[in-house]
């Protein structure tokens, strides 16, 4: 069983829709949670970074962490065609040497004009 | 802005060749990482380094080696390339103790 599970999609939505992307994990030691966005033929770029449980908002993006359920989400409001990309969740444990991350498989999102 | 650069965007090599992939970062990060990314498998860690001349194996180190002679530079070496090493290779860096990793643009390697 993978440590981090993420629905690979693909997910296709109309412009303006609310998008929900999700990951579940099994390692209760994970404390730091991230979302990366990866455009086609590019490297991933950090989108959101949260520590422990709770919500974090940045513009149209909200990251949510529920440690009791071992579940994290990324919500995109008023989605735009420029949001079309692959979204990867990533997480790490506090004690991990070198800040090693464990990634989900990535969800491919297309926002249609 | 953090800049992580990789020596090539696209590379085609023959089976059995020795392949060098180089990564350079300009933010004085202690940690550097090499991943490969494959459809259906996501990002998998090959090797990482938290200091000059230090290295640790990741999840899939077989068939690879690394070198870190300078803090800003981390090289991935395929001693004898095989077709199953055809993949996208991504380099990343971060400060010690911080989870945020900054990625390079990737090298798409094809081994024929």
Per-residue pLDDT of chain A (113 residues; tens, 9 = 90+): 788 999 878 999 999 999 999 999 999 988 889 999 999 989 999 999 988 788 999 999 999 999 999 999 999 999 999 999 999 999 988 655 557 889 999 999 999 99
HEC string for chain A: CCCEEECCCCEEEECCCCEEEEEEECCCCEEEEEEEEECCCCCCEEEEEEECCEEEEECCEEEEEECCCCEEEEEECCCCHHHCEEEEEEEEECCCHHHCCEECCCEEEEEEC
Q: CB–CB of A100 and B98 under 8 A?
A: no
Rounded CA separation A15/A61 (Å): 15
**A77 and B CB contact within 8 Å:** no
Rounded CA separation B24/B16 (Å): 26
Is residue A21 within 8 Å of A66, Cβ to Cβ? no
Rounded CA separation A60/A75 (Å): 8
Can you list the residues of chain B whose pLDDT is less than 50? none
Structure tokens of A32? 């730091």
Q: Is omega for the bond preceding B46 within 30 degrees of 0, making it cis?
A: no
Is residue B13 within 8 Å of B107, Cβ to Cβ? no
Strand partners for A102? A91
For testing contact with chain A, the best of B9, B31, B42, B47 (most A CBs within 10 A): B42
- pLDDT score, position B31: 92
- pLDDT score, position B75: 97
Q: CB–CB of A100 and B48 under 8 A?
A: yes
**Chain B residues with beta carbon closer than 8 angstroms to that of A104:** 42
- pLDDT score, position A86: 96
Q: CB–CB of B56 and A97 under 8 A?
A: yes
Structure tokens of B86? 């055809």
Under an 8 Å CB criterion, which residues of B touch A? 4, 31, 33, 40-43, 45, 48-50, 56, 58, 90, 92, 94-106, 108
Q: CB–CB of A105 and B102 under 8 A?
A: no
- pLDDT score, position B26: 95
**A86 and B CB contact within 8 Å:** no
């Amino acid at each position: 069983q993978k440590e981090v599970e993420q629905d690979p999609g693909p997910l296709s939505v109309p412009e303006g829709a609310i998008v929900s992307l999700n990951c579940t994990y099994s390692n209760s030691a994970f404390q730091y949670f991230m979302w990366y966005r990866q455009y086609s033929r590019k490297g991933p770029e950090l989108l959101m970074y949260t520590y422990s449980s709770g919500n974090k908002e940045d513009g149209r993006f909200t990251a949510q962490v529920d440690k009791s359920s071992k579940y994290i989400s990324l919500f995109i409001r008023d989605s735009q065609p420029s949001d079309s990309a692959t979204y990867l969740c990533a997480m790490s444990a506090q004690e991990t040497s070198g800040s090693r991350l464990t990634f989900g498989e990535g969800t491919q999102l297309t926002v249609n004009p | 802005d953090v800049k992580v650069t990789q020596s090539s965007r696209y590379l085609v090599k023959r089976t059995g060749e020795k392949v060098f992939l180089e990564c350079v970062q300009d933010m004085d990060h202690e940690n550097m990482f090499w991943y490969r990314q494959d459809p259906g498998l996501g990002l998998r860690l090959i090797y990482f380094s938290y200091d000059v001349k230090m290295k640790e194996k990741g999840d899939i180190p077989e068939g690879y080696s690394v070198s870190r002679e300078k803090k800003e530079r981390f090289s991935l070496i395929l001693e004898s390339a095989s077709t199953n090493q055809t993949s996208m290779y991504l380099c990343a860096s971060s400060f010690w103790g911080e989870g945020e990793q900054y990625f390079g643009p990737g090298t798409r390697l094809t081994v024929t």
